[in-house]
Amino acid sequence: MNFSIVITGAPYSTQAPYSAWRFAKAALENGHNIYRVFLHGDGVLCASNLHTSAQDELNINQLWNDLAKQHKLDIVVCITSALKRGLLDEAESKRHNKKHFNVSPLMELSGLGQLVDAVNHSDRLITFGN
């Protein structure tokens, strides 16, 4: 089965990103495909490379980065949600004359068209959020 996942809940204030990660990991281990992961709303906070967890907590951001790297996942970060929350990739930081950027290089800033594309190419769209 071909899945796409939407995450709208923030890491550490909701279970959404961790539940989505567990679902994606289980689906991949059982031979299914993840077409795309789309981060929207507060879910875009999963894309920050600057997030640091306490030593006794799971690092949700790192879990997603590791899964993306291991399975070559297409993780798209809603550009509008990201910019509103201070998340920039290198190109957007230059475009907005900012000195720094913080979006994981394993993730891509893009628009809602990527979500529509995911719906069209997936058997199921699963949403995790509040």
**What's the rounded Cα separation, in Å, for the pair 128 and 14?**
10
Cβ–Cβ contacts within 10 Å for residue 52, how many? 11
Total residue count of the chain as it appears in this document: 130
**What's the rounded Cα separation, in Å, for the pair 62 and 58?**
9
**What's the rounded Cα separation, in Å, for the pair 82 and 29?**
30
Question: Catalytic pick from 78, 79, 82, 103?
Answer: 78
Q: Which amino acid is at 116?
A: V
Active site annotation includes 46: no
User: Which positions are annotated as active-site residues?
Assistant: 78
